[in-house]
Amino acid sequence: MKLASRLVLALAFSCATAATASEISIQVENLQGDGGFAFTPFWFGVHDGSFDAFEAGSDSSLLPGITEIAELGDTSVIGQRLLNEVMNSVGQTLAEPNGPPVFSPGESASTTIDVGDATSNRFFNYASMIVPSNDLFVGNDNAIELFDGAGNFDGPFVIDIFGSDVYDNGSEVNDITNGPAFVNGIDATGGIAEGGVVRPFFTIQPADSNYLNSIIGTQTAPGPIVTQAFDAGDQIGRITITPEPASAALILAAGVFGMRRRR
């Protein structure tokens, strides 16, 4: 085989390998208007599909990690749990970089994650607390498959987060005057234990809507005053997952080299 042909094949193999090693870019946006609710830093986990961050209907006391996110916005417990349960998994927390560590209405941020072996770490989970609240959060109880079995990226993915995607962790009674996190003058470690299960929010009416409306006028620790609630049909956030530009260029280059070789 000629040296030039060997070089082309080597470059093509190198590019294809780099493409399936797959760095992905993740963008988070808070799409609520001024006076809306905030999100705490988002936790992301990429794994082999055996990890279950939470499941609707489960006893919240049996879900280490999600309870800490739902009540305090603390991502450290679920991050450690992922590493303990799934070998070679990848976890990361994304905070909004331009102010307090929350995503206030209108704010966004991006990060890059190297998923490692994309033939194994194919599945994606996320979670974030609704601010302010006692134990409301957003997340996906069914992991999203980002890569196929061969490690090929199946995206881009756009995860639209609506009010109907909010969960009540069921671990603390919903009372904005007793134990909510990120409210000025209130101890977030207080509150009344509920002993319930994780459930989709807006399923107990009118209590759920009344709870959100009771938060209007609350001064949050990050600064803004909540002036408007959201409904089940309102879009409150978005997560966009794309291949990192360098990886996309490598995929294209691999295809070009392959065509040159076939010619």
Cα dihedral 126→129→135→137 (10° resolution): -40
254 inside domain: no
pLDDT at 246 (0 to 100): 53
Residue 171 tokens read as 């671990």
pLDDT tens string, the chain, 263 residues long: the values are 433 333 333 333 333 333 445 899 999 999 999 999 999 999 999 999 999 999 999 998 888 899 999 999 999 999 999 999 999 999 999 998 776 678 999 999 999 999 999 999 999 999 999 999 999 999 999 999 999 999 999 999 999 999 999 999 999 999 999 999 999 999 998 899 999 999 999 999 999 999 999 999 999 987 889 999 999 999 999 999 999 865 544 444 444 333 333 33
Largest CA distance in the chain: 76
Structural domain that includes position 93? 23-244
CA dist 21 to 4, 14, 111, 116, 132, Å?
Answer: 26, 11, 17, 6, 38
Q: What is the rounded CA–CA span in Å between residue 169 and residue 58? A: 9
H/E element, 110: strand 108-114
90 inside domain: yes
12 inside domain: no
139 inside domain: yes
CA dist 196 to 67, 166, 249, Å?
Answer: 12, 16, 49
Q: Is 13 helix (H, G, I), strand (E, B) or coil?
A: helix
Q: How far is CA 98 from the centre of its chain?
A: 19
Cβ neighbours of 187 (radius 10 Å): 11
Q: How far is CA 222 from the centre of its chain?
A: 21
Q: Is 240 helix (H, G, I), strand (E, B) or coil?
A: strand
Count of the separate structural domains present in the chain: 1
Q: What is the rounded CA–CA span in Å between residue 43 and residue 73? A: 9
pLDDT at 99 (0 to 100): 65
77 inside domain: yes
175 inside domain: yes
2 inside domain: no
Residue 119, domain CATH: 2.60.40.2130
13 inside domain: no
